């Protein structure tokens, strides 16, 4: 386990990130007993988790409240014998806030003001039924014949208008888009996998063997491939007028497309999936997992994270407040650097509070500054640390 953690740290450090911004992902992990739990990860370290005896859990969606920093995320249990015994709920940090009933699944989450919308399916005595919840209460939604499976895969709520997408199946799939519960668009022999809102318009992905971006109810562009293989696409991000899509084609080629052309292609020996992407600070981040059970994090085509037995379904990138302060502050001097047992802070004033943070932003030590005072760090694990002292910031490496 120590080797896996060290490998993850080295990848973040070599990429020069993990300090300027924090990368949050949600998905699943394998615990010490071989069972999957649902979790939220910050720079690949678990910060919130949910487990259940005898059931595998996973999280497929997350949303961060930019005002409070609270993280809302889904937790779903995989059905064991039938759809009816699966279970979905919405978490706020480490607490259940929207507790659904047996037979539900949460596929996506969206904020609109103070309201939390979640979407997926609820089970009746016949089959799963596409469902949208507002603050835990079921909203009216056009559904189809009783006994036919339907499911909401994506949702976006803007100024009180709620758009959802998914499918209905009677043996063949029919892609669906809903607006405030009414059927807005319908696509025979297809699914609508994700939906987003950009500059007054909705955009969504419609796919069968190919994948097409729709603007409103008309085609915008078709995702290009370099083979005759089918395409599966999972997420759509729009930034600065550019369209980013992640997914895979064929069996082993995971892709990120920009404006429907392949921007980055990653070929794997066996199955892998890219599940979500987000544009942040002029870079595109995307996440997923590979067939060797590694959670994968990429930035602009380069792999910057890989952790064994983690699987990432969604991603949110946010600024790191410590890094912002570091960029604007005069740096104190730490020596020796790297260090093994003790460090001295040069440039600190007597009586200043010294706070030491790990690479993930966790406070690990506090003390008071004294001229030429040695601070013992022998008990800290090896890694990169940040020191804040008297409004100044610096880093050191513990060997």
Distances (CA, A) of 358 to 11, 59, 328: 16, 26, 20
223-226-229-232 Cα dihedral, nearest 10 degrees: -30
The percent of the chain in helix, strand and coil, each rounded to the nearest 5, is 5, 60, 35
| pLDDT number for residue 19 | 52
Q: 322-398: what fold? A: Immunoglobulin-like (2.60.40)
Residue partners of 250: CB distance under 8 A and separation at least 6: 227, 229, 230
Asked, as a colleague might, if the bond just before 133 is cis with ω within 30 of 0, I would say no
- CA 98 from chain centre, in angstroms, equals 19
* pLDDT score for 292: 87
Tokens representing 273? Answer: 């999936």
**Surface-to-core class of residue 127, CB atoms within 10 Å of its CB (0-12 exposed, 13-18 middle, 19+ buried):** middle
Per CATH, 2-321 and 322-398 having the same topology is answered: no
pLDDT at 66: 80
DSSP-derived secondary structure for 136-153? TEEPP----STT-EEEEE
C-alpha span between 147 and 281 (Å, rounded): 47
d(CA 181, CA 131): 9
Please give the helix or strand (H or E) that residue 373 lies within, else none.
Answer: none
- Domain ranges, ordered by start, for the chain: 2-321, 322-398
Phi, then psi, of 3 in degrees rounded to 5 = -65, -40
Residue 5: CB atoms within 10 A of its CB come to: 16
What is the pLDDT at residue 165? Answer: 97
Long-range Cβ pairs for the range 333-336 (8 Å, 24+): 333/394, 334/387, 334/394, 334/395, 334/396
> How many Å separate Cα 72 from the centre of its chain?
11
Low pLDDT (below 50) residues in the chain: 1-18
The residues, any chain, with a CB within 8 Å of residue 362's CB and separated by 6 or more, are none
Tokens describing residue 308: 């064994």
pTM of the entire structure?
0.77
**CATH entry 2.130.10.10 includes domain 2-321:** yes
Omega of the bond prior to 284 within 30 degrees of 0, cis? Answer: no
């Amino acid at each position: 386990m120590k080797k896996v953690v060290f490998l993850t740290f080295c990848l973040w450090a070599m990429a020069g990130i993990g300090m300027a911004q924090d990368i949050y992902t949600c998905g699943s992990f394998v615990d010490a007993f071989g069972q999957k739990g649902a979790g939220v990860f910050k720079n690949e370290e678990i910060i919130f988790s949910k487990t259940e005896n005898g059931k595998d859990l996973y999280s497929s969606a997350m949303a961060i409240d930019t005002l409070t920093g609270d993280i809302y995320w889904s937790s779903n249990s995989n059905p064991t014998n039938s759809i009816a015994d699966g279970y979905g709920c919405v978490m706020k940090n480490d607490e259940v806030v929207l507790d659904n009933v047996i037979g539900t699944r949460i596929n996506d989450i969206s904020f609109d003001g103070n309201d939390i919308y979640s979407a997926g399916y609820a089970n009746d005595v016949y089959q799963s039924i596409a469902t949208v919840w507002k603050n835990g209460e079921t909203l009216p939604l056009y559904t189809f014949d009783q006994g036919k499976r339907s499911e909401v895969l994506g949702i976006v709520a803007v100024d009180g208008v709620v758009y959802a997408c998914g499918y209905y199946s009677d043996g063949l799939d029919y892609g669906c888009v809903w607006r405030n519960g009414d059927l807005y668009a319908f696509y025979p022999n297809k699914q609508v996998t994700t939906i987003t809102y950009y500059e007054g318009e909705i955009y969504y992905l419609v796919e069968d063997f190919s994948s097409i971006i729709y603007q409103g109810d008309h085609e915008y562009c078709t995702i290009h491939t370099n083979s005759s293989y089918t395409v599966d696409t999972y997420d759509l991000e729009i930034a600065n007028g550019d369209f980013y899509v992640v997914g895979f084609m064929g069996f082993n080629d995971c892709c990120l497309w920009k404006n429907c052309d392949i921007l980055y292609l990653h070929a794997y020996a066996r199955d892998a999936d890219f599940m979500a992407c987000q544009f942040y600070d002029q870079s595109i981040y995307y996440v997923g997992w590979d067939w060797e059970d590694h959670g994968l994090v990429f930035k602009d085509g380069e792999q910057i994270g890989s952790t064994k037995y983690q699987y990432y379904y969604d991603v949110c990138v946010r600024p790191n407040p410590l890094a912002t302060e570091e960029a604007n502050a005069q740096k104190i001097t730490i020596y020796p650097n790297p260090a093994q047992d003790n460090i001295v802070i040069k440039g600190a004033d007597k009586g200043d509070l010294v706070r030491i943070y790990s690479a993930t932003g966790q406070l690990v030590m506090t003390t008071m500054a004294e001229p030429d005072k040695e601070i013992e760090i022998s008990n800290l694990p090896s890694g990169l640390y940040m020191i804040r002292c008297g409004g100044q910031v610096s880093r050191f490496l513990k060997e």
